[in-house]
Structure 1
Amino acid sequence: MPEYEDLQETYPGAGTFKLGHDAESCRAQVDLIRKGGKRAVCAALADFEDAPEAMPVEGRTDIIALWNNTPALVVKTVKVQQIRYCDVNTNMAHSDLGRDDFTAWRKATKNAIKRDHKFDPEMMLVFEFFQLVEDLDGRQIEPRS
């Protein structure tokens, strides 16, 4: 039986989260991070009302998991910014989307927000800027349940 690493021993206090809304979008975003294109993630501030402990914190290390809960990446939060959707600039959108297409970012983000919230162009978003600490591809790590 293979030895599995306990990531909580390697990265104490790290939280775990997933990106996207399904397995395909999650994998696509993980791949963008691996290639260095995606350096931020944003969410509606309202997403954190019932789980304030999930709010990103500068300096914290977290694990990004694939849709099946397999740990994929370790990232460190370098900046957290609250901003209205209508005030997001092209640099922020590029950091989140992984490419220069502000219109595509607006459309994708609006659609993602509408899955869980009533959309308002003045609604507050939380932008988490991060750096990749480690790509866990190929390591034997016990999937989180």
Structure 2
Amino acid sequence: MDDIEAFWERAQQHADLATVRSYMGESIIAALRPPAWAFGATPEQADELVGLVLEGTKTATSSALWDYEAESEDLPDVGTLGIVVDSAGTPRALVVTTEVRTVPFDEVDEEHARAEGEGDRSLAHWRRVHEDFFTEHASHDKGFARDMPVVLERFRVLHAEPAPA
């Protein structure tokens, strides 16, 4: 059993997901492990951002809608589960999406910037850092635009584990 599978088994028990029964018997939640992914695009970002999640400072994230489209990836839905890993691929948190909305980059508000938990948690910081991120790490060829659609996601931690010693 790999680290992510073992984490998933522990997280189901801790978050009481495995006991949810479906009409047909065992819960689909227990049968299907959610995807594992890291925040950011670099190992340093992955570690910094998962640290903010574990502290409870980061409760939101944002992505370029154009990246979802370029990768033919579905947008998250409320209730989507995910396993957040650090730069070493070690699972650290099970999160559930609680809200999803798409807005133009220049309409992201102060509340969302604060919920992302980065830097001084200001909208000015969020815009500066995310303009750089969306410019440098785009999966699409449209470049950066102030009116580009951004997917804003809020999440809640269902289970977290400290870094292994």
TM-score past 0.5 threshold: yes
Q: Hey, what does 2:81 align to over in structure 1? A: 61
- Judging by fraction of residues, say which structure has more strand: 1
Following TM superposition, by how much is the alpha carbon of 1:100 offset from its aligned partner in structure 2, in angstroms? 2.9
Q: Which amino acid aligns with 1:109?
A: H
For 1:111, the equivalent position in structure 2 comes to 132
**In the TM superposition, what is the alpha-carbon distance from 1:126 to its structure 2 partner?**
0.4
Superposed, 1:1-145 pairs within 5 Å as 5=6, 7=8, 10=12, 12-49=32-69, 50-53=71-74, 55-98=75-118, 99-115=120-136, 116=138, 118-137=143-162
C-alpha displacement of 1:96: 1.5
Query: C-alpha deviations, 1:80-115, integer Å up to 9, x for none?
Result: 110110101100111113443221111000000001
Q: What amino acid is aligned across from residue 7 of structure 1 in structure 2?
A: W
Q: Secondary structure at the match of 2:45?
A: helix
**With CA pairs under 8 Å and 6+ residues apart, which has the higher RCO, 1 or 2?**
1
- Within 2, Cα distance between the matches of 1:16 and 1:70? 10
Change (3 A) 1:138 1:89: closer
The answer for unaligned runs of 5 or more in structure 2 is 13-29
Equivalent residue letter for 1:132: V
Equivalent position of 2:26 in the other structure = none
What is the CA distance between 1:52 and its match in structure 2? Answer: 2.1
Seen in structure 2, the aligned counterparts of structure 1 residues 107 and 6 have a Cα distance that, compared at 3 Å, is: closer
Deviation at 1:13, TM superposition (A): 4.0
- Greater Rg over alpha carbons, structure: 2
State the identity as a percent. 21
Distance in 2 of aligned mates of 1:51 and 1:15: 16
Q: Let me know the Cα RMSD of the aligned residues.
A: 2.2
